[in-house]
Amino acid sequence: MCAVALPANAENDEADESDFPEDEFIDPFGDFEDEDAPDSDDATEDAEAPEEDRADRDTGVSDGDESDDDPDRDTERRGDDAPDDDADPFDEFADLFETDDMFDDFDEEDAEDDIRTEDDPLLTDGVEWSGRFIGSADANWTWIDPYTRGLGEPDSTSLTPSVGADLRFDVRPERDYRVFGSFRIRGGQAGGAFDPVAVSPEALGGVADALDLEPDEVDELIEAFGEGAAADAGDFDISVFELFADFPWEDRLFFRFGKHTINWGVGYFFSPADVLNLTSIDPQDPEADLEGPISLRTLYPFGSHSAYLYLIIPDAAEPLDVAVAPKLILEVAGNELGIGAYYQRDRAPRGILTLRRSIGEVDLFAEGVLSWGSDRTFLREREEGSVPPYETYRVEDALVPSATAGLRWFDDFERLGSVLLAGQYLYNGDGYADIELAHADETLLQIATLVALQQAGIVPAPPGAELVDPDDPTIALADLAPLTTGRHYVGATAGLSEIAGSGFGVSAFGLANLTDFSGLVSPTISYSFLNRMRISAGATFTFGAPGTEFGNPATRFPGEDGGFPDDGPLVTLNLSLSLGAGSF
């Protein structure tokens, strides 16, 4: 089930020099990149608030205690220290000369440090901690093809408790040195609900049993389709999400080294320009933070523009495997234009263009990517009567274009509530133009999935009946991951939160693969009540023929008899209760 999150406020902050008054100090470590996700520190208080803002992650903005800005604090101190009304004012004046404290040694260095910390907005007195707690319980009921079978006993059910926390620290002991870290704790997430974009064992309809898979093979299958290996109930995972240091050179070049999110793309549901992060945008949770790699970022601001150079260090790499990615961000006639490139040995090089413009409360955005070759392996039919009937191949000496364009509108209305509308189109040059096969009843996705399982050794190929030549390139399950197999995609969402000042919110989300005409639609209604409690109910309806991307993922995998199931689409009902979530 997917719930579309609404931002907690209407502002679309741009980390741009033009946003600051001339007499206001600008943080030299602040980013000038394109970051359009709204701030969400108060997300847990909003019925439809999003995940923490990706832009705030990248800049390391602290969400700590704001009490220093309370004007009442000085008043309270003055009240506490006020003299007693009955005291003799002359006696109090005389007391000033009756103590030796005024003649104690004066530490000039400590005094300068105190003044420096109080006057400089960049310096922190110690380590600033912030974060949030997440707690929920989700119940799900899934039916296979209820349109013809009826809504009888659900084909699968699940109850999933989950707890987690995000912890962040931010310290700046010196004006030109800053360290930021973010840690994630997640637990109790075994047996999750069906996610049409990330295939789970429940959604596959017992495919693990049909294929007689070992536990590690099941984990490999699930991980390839974006959900990750299933965890045992009660297990907790603690990971470092971000950890980096900022430091300058002569206030001209600003460096950041460590693990951090890299916001290259401007898309909302899809971002082909985002080639650096380790994770991609999830269209069902488009404002969630993305995990970035370990890299060295060099920033050179000039005027209202910025120049970046990224050196990305992959795991278990050789020195020549370091990826190089330069990018320019230019402010041209009210438009934000991004020009970038990406190169890494044994990977397809890419040129990247991004464009964004705001008209009132509407954000318009577009991306274009042109790569020389592709990093994926593809499958195609051979001539009729050929043995084997299929072949896998790579694209290495051809231009592969991808592009996307869309808009996002968010606004607050005093009597109505907060309104969000967003839509986006994606042209995926790495996708298949057609999944129908000329000489087989199966779809190309079904055959490609079977070939990937056979080449990985998960499913044995019958002797003498191999689908591809043993010397053909290996096609991995990752080459068939969600949102990669189609040539054309569209995504859209509409939502209204805090309706008429109440705790009610409604939203609807849709995603479609226009190549095989499959997709999903998910409406949701939510209500916030008591203190930090929220209940939401929704449904996810998939559509599409067997063997398509979203229709019924189980039909892409062979059954016990070696054939492919002919089951219809799915309907999943979800009831979710959020408990105690909040920022601190």
Provide the 10 A C-beta neighbour count for residue 277. Answer: 21
Burial class (CB in 10 A: 0-12, 13-18, 19+), 315: exposed
For 78-120, write each residue's pLDDT tens digit. 334 444 444 444 344 344 334 444 344 445 555 445 545 455 6
Q: How far apart (Å, rounded) are the C-alpha atoms in residues 33 and 266?
A: 10
- Token pair, residue 576, equals 């979710």
pLDDT confidence of residue 84: 44
Cβ count near 559 (within 10 Å): 17
- pTM of structure: 0.76
For residue 461, the tally of other CB atoms under 10 A from its CB is 17
Amino acid at 560: E
- As for how many domains the chain has, the answer is 1
CB neighbours of 213 closer than 8 A, spacing ≥ 6?
A: 221, 458
249 backbone dihedrals φ, ψ, rounded to 5°: -130, 110
The H or E element that residue 149 is part of is: helix 146-149
What's the pLDDT at 236?
81
Taking alpha carbons only, the member of 283, 279, 275 closest to residue 369 is 275
* C-alpha–C-alpha distance, residues 369 and 276, integer Å: 13
Cβ atoms 188, 230 nearer than 8 A: no
Closest CA to 211 of 379, 390, 457: 457
Mean pLDDT, the chain, integer? 79
Tell the residue number behind the tokens 């779809």, with chain if given.
443
The set of long-range contacts for 303-311, using a CB threshold of 8 Å and a minimum separation of 24, is: 303/17, 304/16, 304/17, 304/18, 304/331, 305/329, 305/330, 305/331, 306/32, 306/33, 308/33, 310/262, 310/276
Q: Which residues contact 330 (CB under 8 A, 6 or more apart)?
A: 305, 336, 337, 338, 339
| pLDDT value at residue 558 | 85
pLDDT tens track for 50-84: 433 444 434 333 333 333 444 343 333 333 444 44
Question: Is the pLDDT reported for residue 415 higher than 90?
Answer: no
Cα–Cα distance measured from residue 514 to residue 496, given in angstroms and rounded to the nearest whole number: 27
- β-partners of residue 392 are 379
Both tokens of 546, joined, read 């067997």
**DSSP for 381-405, written as a single string:** E-STT-SSSEEEEE--SSEEEEEEE
Looking at residue 263, its pLDDT comes to 87
**pLDDT of 57:** 39
Cα-based torsion angle of the residue sequence 114, 115, 116, 120 in order, rounded to the nearest 10 degrees: 120
Amino acid 13: pLDDT:
37
Token pair 């859209």 in the structure block, residue: 492
CA nearest to 567, candidates 148, 1, 141: 148
Q: Could you give the residue ranges of the DSSP H alpha helices within 372-455?
A: 444-455
Q: What is the pLDDT of residue 175?
A: 86
What gap in Å lies between CA 182 and CA 291, rounded to an integer? Answer: 11
pLDDT score at 62: 38
Per-residue pLDDT, 221: 58
**Domain of residue 138, residue span:** 35-60+126-583
Mean pLDDT of 556-576: 88
Residue 420 pairs with which residues in a beta bridge?
410, 495
pLDDT of residue 546 exceeding 90? yes
Q: Token match 């460590």: residue?
A: 258
Whether the predicted pLDDT of 33 surpasses 50: no
Structure tokens at 253: 């070049």
How far lies 378's CA from each of 271, 426, 451, 472, in Å?
Answer: 21, 20, 11, 11
Is residue 81 included in any domain, yes or no?
A: no
pLDDT attached to residue 214: 58
In a domain, 1, yes or no: no
CA distance linking residue 324 with residue 408, whole number of Å = 31
Q: Which of 12-26, 141-155, 550-564 has the largest mean confidence?
A: 141-155
Q: How far apart are CA 60 and CA 52, in angstroms?
A: 12
Given a cut of 90, is residue 171 above it in pLDDT?
A: yes
Q: What is the DSSP letter of 148?
A: H
d(CA 47, CA 536): 9
Contact 458, 210 (CB under 8 A): no
Residue 576: inside a domain: yes
Q: Tell which residue, 471, 384, 473, 475, has the closest CA to residue 432.
A: 475
Amino acid in position 242: E
Residue the block writes with tokens 């320009």: 273
Contacts 24+ apart (CB under 8 A), 276-280: 276/310, 276/312, 276/323, 276/325, 276/342, 280/483
- Which amino acid is residue 529, in one-letter code? F
pLDDT at residue 523, rounded to an integer: 97
Say what the pLDDT of residue 316 is: 77
Name the DSSP class of 44: G
Residues of the chain above pLDDT 70, percent: 71
Beta bridge partners of 309: 298, 326
Q: Is residue 303 part of a domain?
A: yes
What is the rounded distance in angstroms from the CA atom of residue 296 to the CA atom of residue 69? Answer: 35
Residue 80 placed within a domain: no
Asked whether the CA dihedral 275, 280, 285, 288 is positive or negative, the reply is: negative
pLDDT (tens digit, 9 = 90+) per residue, 308-341? 999 998 887 788 999 999 999 999 989 999 999 9
The one-character DSSP state at 106 is P
CA distance 574 to 376: 35
Q: Which of 83-92, 126-135, 276-285, 429-438 has the lowest mean pLDDT?
A: 83-92
Does residue 76 lie within any of the structural domains? no
Give residue 212's pLDDT band: very low, low, confident or very high (50, 70, 90).
low
pLDDT over 80 at 163, yes or no: yes
In a domain, 97, yes or no: no
Phi and psi of 47, rounded to 5°?
A: -60, -25
| Residue 30's pLDDT band (cuts 50, 70, 90) | low
DSSP H/E element including 538? strand 533-543
pLDDT the model gives residue 475: 95
Q: What is the pLDDT of residue 222?
A: 55
In a domain, 120, yes or no: no
Q: In whole angstroms, give the CA distance from residue 222 to residue 208.
A: 10
Which residue carries 């659900």 as its tokens? Answer: 154
| Predicted local confidence at residue 196, as pLDDT | 46
Q: Residue 343 belongs to a domain with what CATH number?
A: 2.40.160
Identify the band that residue 553 occupies on the pLDDT scale cut at 50, 70 and 90. Answer: confident
Q: Per-residue confidence at 126, pLDDT binned at 50, 70, 90? A: confident
